[in-house]
Amino acid sequence: MIDDKGLRLDGRRPDELRSIKLQVGVLDNADGSAYIEQGKNKIIAGVYGPREIHPKHLIIPDRAAIRCRYRMAPFSTEERKHPAPSRREIEISKVIRESLEPSILSEYYPRTVIDIFVEALQCDGGTRCASIVAASLALADAGIPLKELVSSCSAGKVKGHVIVDLYDLEDKYGEADLPVALMPNHNLVTLIQMDGKLSKEEFEKAFNMALEGCRKIRNLQNDALKRKYKLESDTENSKDSESKEEGK
Protein backbone atom coordinates (compact mmCIF):
# COMPACT_ATOMS: atom_id res chain seq x y z
CA MET A 1 0.00 0.00 0.00
CA ILE A 2 2.95 2.32 0.62
CA ASP A 3 6.15 1.90 -1.46
CA ASP A 4 9.81 2.36 -0.51
CA LYS A 5 9.75 6.02 -1.45
CA GLY A 6 6.80 6.55 0.91
CA LEU A 7 4.34 7.07 -1.93
CA ARG A 8 0.83 5.64 -1.89
CA LEU A 9 -0.84 3.35 -4.42
CA ASP A 10 -2.09 6.27 -6.49
CA GLY A 11 1.28 8.03 -6.27
CA ARG A 12 0.36 10.60 -3.63
CA ARG A 13 2.53 11.54 -0.67
CA PRO A 14 1.00 10.70 2.75
CA ASP A 15 -0.04 14.33 3.35
CA GLU A 16 -1.27 15.04 -0.16
CA LEU A 17 -4.93 15.59 -1.05
CA ARG A 18 -6.54 14.33 -4.23
CA SER A 19 -7.09 16.97 -6.89
CA ILE A 20 -10.34 18.83 -6.23
CA LYS A 21 -12.57 20.62 -8.68
CA LEU A 22 -15.41 22.71 -7.30
CA GLN A 23 -18.19 24.42 -9.18
CA VAL A 24 -21.03 26.49 -7.73
CA GLY A 25 -24.47 27.06 -9.23
CA VAL A 26 -24.61 24.09 -11.59
CA LEU A 27 -28.38 23.51 -11.36
CA ASP A 28 -31.05 25.93 -12.56
CA ASN A 29 -34.05 24.54 -10.74
CA ALA A 30 -32.60 24.28 -7.25
CA ASP A 31 -32.21 27.46 -5.19
CA GLY A 32 -28.54 26.66 -4.72
CA SER A 33 -26.21 23.95 -5.97
CA ALA A 34 -22.62 22.82 -6.15
CA TYR A 35 -20.57 20.11 -7.79
CA ILE A 36 -17.39 18.51 -6.49
CA GLU A 37 -14.86 16.25 -8.14
CA GLN A 38 -12.34 14.90 -5.70
CA GLY A 39 -10.15 12.35 -7.41
CA LYS A 40 -12.67 9.95 -8.89
CA ASN A 41 -15.51 11.13 -6.64
CA LYS A 42 -18.23 13.00 -8.48
CA ILE A 43 -20.93 14.49 -6.29
CA ILE A 44 -23.65 17.03 -6.90
CA ALA A 45 -25.55 18.86 -4.15
CA GLY A 46 -28.77 20.85 -4.44
CA VAL A 47 -30.50 23.01 -1.84
CA TYR A 48 -34.07 24.26 -1.63
CA GLY A 49 -35.36 26.75 0.82
CA PRO A 50 -36.07 28.15 3.25
CA ARG A 51 -39.53 27.10 2.19
CA GLU A 52 -42.85 26.07 3.64
CA ILE A 53 -42.63 22.81 5.52
CA HIS A 54 -44.69 19.73 4.73
CA PRO A 55 -45.81 17.66 6.59
CA LYS A 56 -46.71 20.32 9.14
CA HIS A 57 -45.88 18.27 12.21
CA LEU A 58 -42.18 18.67 11.42
CA ILE A 59 -42.39 22.41 12.18
CA ILE A 60 -39.88 23.68 14.69
CA PRO A 61 -41.39 26.84 16.22
CA ASP A 62 -38.16 28.79 16.72
CA ARG A 63 -35.99 27.85 13.76
CA ALA A 64 -35.86 26.22 10.36
CA ALA A 65 -35.84 22.46 10.17
CA ILE A 66 -33.03 20.99 8.09
CA ARG A 67 -33.51 17.85 6.06
CA CYS A 68 -30.82 16.08 4.16
CA ARG A 69 -30.84 13.18 1.77
CA TYR A 70 -27.66 11.55 0.54
CA ARG A 71 -28.12 9.13 -2.30
CA MET A 72 -25.74 6.99 -4.33
CA ALA A 73 -26.55 6.48 -7.97
CA PRO A 74 -26.92 2.81 -8.98
CA PHE A 75 -23.94 3.28 -11.31
CA SER A 76 -21.77 5.00 -8.72
CA THR A 77 -19.85 1.93 -7.60
CA GLU A 78 -18.07 -0.93 -9.33
CA GLU A 79 -20.87 -3.34 -8.54
CA ARG A 80 -24.35 -1.99 -9.22
CA LYS A 81 -25.81 -0.46 -6.11
CA HIS A 82 -29.42 -1.37 -5.44
CA PRO A 83 -31.35 1.89 -5.77
CA ALA A 84 -33.26 1.52 -2.49
CA PRO A 85 -31.88 3.64 0.37
CA SER A 86 -29.36 1.53 2.24
CA ARG A 87 -28.30 1.65 5.88
CA ARG A 88 -25.15 3.45 4.78
CA GLU A 89 -27.02 6.15 2.88
CA ILE A 90 -29.33 6.83 5.80
CA GLU A 91 -26.35 7.14 8.10
CA ILE A 92 -24.48 9.50 5.78
CA SER A 93 -27.60 11.66 5.33
CA LYS A 94 -27.79 12.10 9.08
CA VAL A 95 -24.09 12.75 9.41
CA ILE A 96 -24.12 15.41 6.67
CA ARG A 97 -27.11 17.13 8.22
CA GLU A 98 -25.57 17.19 11.66
CA SER A 99 -22.24 18.48 10.43
CA LEU A 100 -23.88 21.37 8.54
CA GLU A 101 -26.45 22.32 11.19
CA PRO A 102 -24.07 24.32 13.42
CA SER A 103 -23.11 26.55 10.48
CA ILE A 104 -26.68 27.45 9.45
CA LEU A 105 -28.35 30.42 11.13
CA SER A 106 -31.63 28.55 11.11
CA GLU A 107 -33.25 30.77 13.74
CA TYR A 108 -33.63 33.48 11.07
CA TYR A 109 -36.41 31.51 9.40
CA PRO A 110 -38.61 29.87 12.05
CA ARG A 111 -41.23 27.31 10.99
CA THR A 112 -39.64 26.68 7.60
CA VAL A 113 -37.49 23.94 6.14
CA ILE A 114 -34.18 23.81 4.31
CA ASP A 115 -33.83 20.75 2.10
CA ILE A 116 -30.41 19.47 1.12
CA PHE A 117 -30.08 16.80 -1.56
CA VAL A 118 -26.78 15.13 -2.27
CA GLU A 119 -26.37 12.78 -5.21
CA ALA A 120 -23.19 10.75 -5.43
CA LEU A 121 -22.68 10.02 -9.10
CA GLN A 122 -19.37 8.23 -8.75
CA CYS A 123 -17.83 7.06 -5.49
CA ASP A 124 -14.21 6.47 -4.67
CA GLY A 125 -13.92 6.77 -0.91
CA GLY A 126 -14.40 9.78 1.33
CA THR A 127 -17.78 10.67 -0.15
CA ARG A 128 -19.21 11.86 3.13
CA CYS A 129 -16.48 14.48 3.36
CA ALA A 130 -16.83 15.52 -0.26
CA SER A 131 -20.61 15.71 0.18
CA ILE A 132 -20.28 18.06 3.14
CA VAL A 133 -17.96 20.33 1.14
CA ALA A 134 -20.41 20.47 -1.79
CA ALA A 135 -23.53 20.81 0.37
CA SER A 136 -22.05 23.71 2.30
CA LEU A 137 -21.28 25.54 -0.94
CA ALA A 138 -24.79 24.84 -2.19
CA LEU A 139 -26.25 26.34 1.00
CA ALA A 140 -24.23 29.51 0.50
CA ASP A 141 -25.30 29.63 -3.15
CA ALA A 142 -28.95 29.38 -2.11
CA GLY A 143 -28.59 32.59 -0.09
CA ILE A 144 -29.05 30.89 3.26
CA PRO A 145 -27.35 32.77 6.10
CA LEU A 146 -24.35 30.81 7.34
CA LYS A 147 -21.87 31.43 10.13
CA GLU A 148 -19.27 30.15 7.73
CA LEU A 149 -18.65 27.37 5.25
CA VAL A 150 -18.00 23.88 6.53
CA SER A 151 -14.98 22.03 5.16
CA SER A 152 -14.32 18.37 5.53
CA CYS A 153 -11.48 15.93 5.01
CA SER A 154 -10.58 12.46 6.17
CA ALA A 155 -7.40 10.92 7.50
CA GLY A 156 -6.50 7.35 8.38
CA LYS A 157 -3.89 4.66 8.68
CA VAL A 158 -2.60 2.30 6.03
CA LYS A 159 0.15 -0.25 6.71
CA GLY A 160 1.19 1.69 9.80
CA HIS A 161 1.44 5.02 7.95
CA VAL A 162 -0.87 7.89 8.85
CA ILE A 163 -2.24 9.41 5.66
CA VAL A 164 -4.75 12.06 4.64
CA ASP A 165 -7.73 11.93 2.24
CA LEU A 166 -8.14 8.17 1.79
CA TYR A 167 -9.52 6.81 -1.43
CA ASP A 168 -11.52 3.63 -1.89
CA LEU A 169 -8.72 1.04 -1.75
CA GLU A 170 -6.99 2.64 1.22
CA ASP A 171 -10.32 2.84 2.98
CA LYS A 172 -11.07 -0.83 2.33
CA TYR A 173 -7.66 -2.35 3.06
CA GLY A 174 -6.34 0.24 5.51
CA GLU A 175 -6.43 -0.03 9.27
CA ALA A 176 -8.38 3.11 10.15
CA ASP A 177 -10.47 5.92 8.70
CA LEU A 178 -11.17 9.24 10.43
CA PRO A 179 -13.49 11.70 8.66
CA VAL A 180 -13.53 15.20 10.14
CA ALA A 181 -15.59 18.30 9.33
CA LEU A 182 -14.46 21.69 10.50
CA MET A 183 -15.61 25.31 10.68
CA PRO A 184 -12.12 26.84 10.47
CA ASN A 185 -12.85 30.38 11.72
CA HIS A 186 -14.60 29.13 14.81
CA ASN A 187 -12.20 26.23 15.17
CA LEU A 188 -15.23 24.05 15.63
CA VAL A 189 -15.25 20.39 14.69
CA THR A 190 -18.74 19.51 13.46
CA LEU A 191 -18.10 15.90 12.52
CA ILE A 192 -15.70 13.27 13.72
CA GLN A 193 -16.10 9.58 13.16
CA MET A 194 -13.63 6.75 13.29
CA ASP A 195 -13.59 3.18 12.21
CA GLY A 196 -10.62 0.88 12.79
CA LYS A 197 -7.97 1.28 15.43
CA LEU A 198 -5.49 4.09 16.09
CA SER A 199 -3.14 4.57 19.01
CA LYS A 200 -3.39 7.85 20.89
CA GLU A 201 -0.35 9.29 19.06
CA GLU A 202 -1.57 8.09 15.70
CA PHE A 203 -5.00 9.55 16.40
CA GLU A 204 -3.58 12.94 17.19
CA LYS A 205 -1.42 12.90 14.10
CA ALA A 206 -4.28 11.80 11.89
CA PHE A 207 -6.66 14.34 13.44
CA ASN A 208 -4.24 17.19 12.84
CA MET A 209 -3.64 16.06 9.27
CA ALA A 210 -7.38 15.99 8.66
CA LEU A 211 -7.75 19.50 10.11
CA GLU A 212 -4.96 20.72 7.87
CA GLY A 213 -6.77 19.12 4.91
CA CYS A 214 -10.01 20.89 5.91
CA ARG A 215 -8.24 24.24 5.93
CA LYS A 216 -6.80 23.63 2.48
CA ILE A 217 -10.22 22.64 1.17
CA ARG A 218 -11.74 25.72 2.78
CA ASN A 219 -9.53 27.92 0.62
CA LEU A 220 -10.70 26.05 -2.47
CA GLN A 221 -14.32 26.55 -1.37
CA ASN A 222 -13.79 30.28 -0.93
CA ASP A 223 -12.22 30.51 -4.38
CA ALA A 224 -15.05 28.54 -5.98
CA LEU A 225 -17.73 30.80 -4.49
CA LYS A 226 -15.91 33.98 -5.39
CA ARG A 227 -15.24 32.69 -8.88
CA LYS A 228 -18.91 32.17 -9.57
CA TYR A 229 -20.06 35.52 -8.23
CA LYS A 230 -17.03 37.41 -9.55
CA LEU A 231 -17.94 36.16 -13.01
CA GLU A 232 -21.16 38.09 -12.78
CA SER A 233 -19.55 41.28 -11.59
CA ASP A 234 -16.67 40.87 -14.05
CA THR A 235 -18.96 40.82 -17.04
CA GLU A 236 -20.40 44.03 -15.70
CA ASN A 237 -17.00 45.57 -15.23
CA SER A 238 -16.09 44.72 -18.78
CA LYS A 239 -19.34 46.33 -19.87
CA ASP A 240 -18.31 49.34 -17.83
CA SER A 241 -14.96 49.60 -19.51
CA GLU A 242 -16.58 49.06 -22.90
CA SER A 243 -19.01 51.86 -22.33
CA LYS A 244 -16.18 54.06 -21.16
CA GLU A 245 -14.25 53.31 -24.29
CA GLU A 246 -17.30 54.12 -26.33
CA GLY A 247 -17.48 57.41 -24.45
CA LYS A 248 -13.92 58.22 -25.42
Partner 1 sequence: MLLTILAQKKQLVIPGELVAKGEYDPDLNVYKDGENIYSTMIGIFESRGNRISVVPLKHCYFPFVDDIIIGKIIDVGMSGWSVDINSPYLALLPATEFGARQNYPKRRETTQSLSVGDLVKAKIIAFDRSRDPLLSARDRGLGKITHGRMIKITPSKIPRLIGKEGSMINMLKKESACSLSVGQNGIVLVTCSSPKNEEVVVELIKMIEHEAHTQGLTDRVSEVINRKLRGVKTGKA
Binding site for partner 1 (CB under 8 A): 31, 49-52, 61-62, 105, 108-112, 140-143, 145-149, 183, 185-186, 222, 225-226, 229-230, 232-233, 236-237, 239-240, 243
CA distance 234 to 93: 37
Q: Are strands 20-24 and 32-38 parallel, antiparallel or unpaired?
A: antiparallel
CB nearer partner 1, residue 23 or residue 112? 112
Q: How far is the CB of 140 from partner 1 (least distance, A)?
A: 5
CB nearer partner 1, residue 47 or residue 198? 47
CB nearer partner 1, residue 75 or residue 229? 229
Angle in degrees, CA 230, 236, 237, rounded to 5: 85
Q: Are strands 65-72 and 112-122 parallel, antiparallel or unpaired?
A: parallel
Stated as kind and residue range, the H or E segment containing 19 is none
CA distance 61 to 48: 19
Rg of the chain, C-alpha, whole Å: 20
Q: How far is the CB of 28 from partner 1 (least distance, A)?
A: 13
CB nearer partner 1, residue 14 or residue 110? 110
